[in-house]
Chain A
Amino acid sequence: AAGVIQSPRHLIKEKRETATLKCYPIPRHDTVYWYQQGPGQDPQFLISFYEKMQSDKGSIPDRFSAQQFSDYHSELNMSSLELGDSALYFCASSHGLAGGPATDTQYFGPGTRLTVL
């Protein structure tokens, strides 16, 4: 079965550069979530989208932005990168219920490992 696809899998950037992470949800999933997991930390929710609209916002820095496109894929844009942004970034997708965001299982992608030097 198709899974959540994230690209790139690894990314190395310098401080103050920008990065764009991409997420392709499981087909027919309309809800996408982004999580950040620092070294030795538990995953922290960043932001989510349902039917191309932002549905919830967590601990996402103002330097980051995200959107969900008409084909339901999502991109996380990160600017003015800092050393502390080095982490694993996970995308998850789920199938939303009619009229609202998802309440069912979230399926996670393999993650993008971002290293900021």
Chain B
Amino acid sequence: SQQGEEDPQALSIQEGENATMNCSYKTSINNLQWYRQNSGRGLVHLILIRSNEREKHSGRLRVTLDTSKKSSSLLITASRAADTASYFCATDLSRYSSASKIIFGSGTRLSIRP
């Protein structure tokens, strides 16, 4: 079964508003990463938060991690039309298994209306 589940699957907001996307996962993780993908294009790494961190900021991005609830959120403040993309959370299980891969969630499609 899928490790990461994202909520909502699609989000449409007005330019300038804040966008919040949530990600839940099932097993213990080493770190959690958020990626952005424009339609049919490559994946762009946004931010990584380690299992011993609770909150991290990068520009207009704010990520939180609650390991007790196995969930993370990505907040994009003051959204811009250029933020329109799909956003994926991805969990790294490396410390807790022999895996050296990250597992992607199903993604949130964010649309910013001008």
Q: Using CB atoms and an 8 Å cutoff, list the residues of chain A in contact with chain B.
A: 31, 33, 35, 42-45, 48, 50, 55-56, 58, 88, 90, 92, 100-111, 113
Interfacial chain B residues near A56, Cβ < 8 Å:
98-101
Complex contact A109–B42 (CB within 8 A): yes
Which of A33, A42, A104, A113 has its CB near the most chain B CB atoms (within 10 A)?
A42
9 contacts between A and B (CB under 8 A): A43-B104, A45-B101, A56-B101, A90-B43, A103-B30, A103-B92, A105-B45, A110-B42, A111-B43
A40 CB to closest chain B CB (Å) equals 10
CA distance A35 to B35 in the complex (A): 14
Interfacial chain A residues near B31, Cβ < 8 Å:
103-104
Complex contact A108–B43 (CB within 8 A): yes
CA distance A56 to B95 in the complex (A): 13
Which of A48, A103, A113 has its CB near the most chain B CB atoms (within 10 A)?
A103
A103 CB to closest chain B CB (Å) equals 4
Q: Using CB atoms and an 8 Å cutoff, list the residues of chain B in contact with chain A.
A: 30-31, 33, 35, 40-45, 48, 88, 92, 94-95, 98-107
CA distance A44 to B33 in the complex (A): 15
CA distance A113 to B99 in the complex (A): 26
Complex contact B106–A88 (CB within 8 A): no
Complex contact B101–A48 (CB within 8 A): yes
Interfacial chain B residues near A44, Cβ < 8 Å:
104
Interfacial chain B residues near A45, Cβ < 8 Å:
101-103
Q: Which residue of B lies closest to A107 (CB)?
A: B45
Q: Which residue of A lies closest to B42 (CB)?
A: A110
CA distance A45 to B95 in the complex (A): 17
Complex contact A105–B30 (CB within 8 A): no
B27 CB to closest chain A CB (Å) equals 15
